[in-house]
């Protein structure tokens, strides 16, 4: 049975897993599944396919949980929040628009933060409001 409590550590574990998923799929360093696939001589390598299927499973879990808990509007609001933070960083010249590698890393971290928030949102909402989210109903 799942633990009923939710903590900052629980959120950080979800975010770490989201970071692993996002950065394993693609990152500017050149060490990702995308780079492995594009650099492979034989594109139908079973290990590349296995890694791709595992990544796809992770993406489906995170994206579906985010879509169900935050919804379309909530996801847009989360992206708007993080997008505004990036805009402020650019506006106050804390980062340069010409530094595409840094911007890519920031976007990947934001994407993982939105997904971690989405997968944690039911717990966060219950903590803030005392309301439970119920998706499955028993129908007799």
**DSSP assignment of 88-119:** HHHHTTSS-TT-HHHHHHHHHHHHHHHHHHHH
In-domain check, residue 2 = no
**Axis-axis angle for helices 8-25, 100-129 (nearest 10):** 150
In-domain check, residue 75 = yes
pTM for the predicted model, two decimal places: 0.81
Count of domains for the chain: 1
In-domain check, residue 76 = yes
Length of the chain: 140
Helix (H) or strand (E) holding 130: none
Query: For 23-27, 41-45, 79-83, which range has the lowest pLDDT when averaged over its residues?
Result: 41-45
For residue 133, what pLDDT is reported?
58
CA proximity to 118, closest of 72, 87, 83, 86: 72
In-domain check, residue 23 = yes
In-domain check, residue 64 = yes
The fraction of the chain above a pLDDT of 70, given in percent, is 87
CA–CA dist 101, 86 (Å, integer): 14
Range of the structural domain that residue 87 is part of: 8-129
Between the alpha carbon of residue 113 and those of residues 14, 52, 75, 120, the distances in Å are: 9, 22, 11, 10
pLDDT in tens, 49-81: 999 999 999 999 999 999 998 888 998 998 899
Query: What radius of gyration, in Å, describes the C-alpha atoms of the chain?
Result: 18
In-domain check, residue 33 = yes
In-domain check, residue 24 = yes
pLDDT in tens, 108-118: 999 999 999 98
In-domain check, residue 136 = no
CA angle 43, 48, 53 (to 5 degrees): 120
């Amino acid at each position: 049975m799942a633990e009923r409590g939710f903590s900052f550590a629980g959120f950080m574990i979800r975010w770490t897993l989201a970071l692993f998923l996002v950065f394993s799929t693609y990152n500017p360093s050149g060490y990702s599944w995308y780079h492995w696939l594009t650099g492979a001589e034989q594109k139908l390598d079973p290990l590349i396919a296995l890694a791709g299927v595992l990544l796809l499973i992770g993406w489906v879990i995170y994206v579906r949980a985010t879509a169900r808990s935050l919804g379309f509007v909530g996801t847009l609001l989360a992206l708007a929040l993080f997008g505004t933070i990036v805009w402020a960083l650019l506006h106050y010249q804390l980062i340069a628009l010409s530094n595409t590698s840094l911007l890519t890393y920031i976007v990947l971290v934001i994407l993982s933060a939105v997904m971690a928030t989405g997968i944690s949102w039911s717990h966060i909402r219950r903590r803030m409001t005392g309301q439970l989210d119920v998706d499955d109903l028993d129908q007799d």
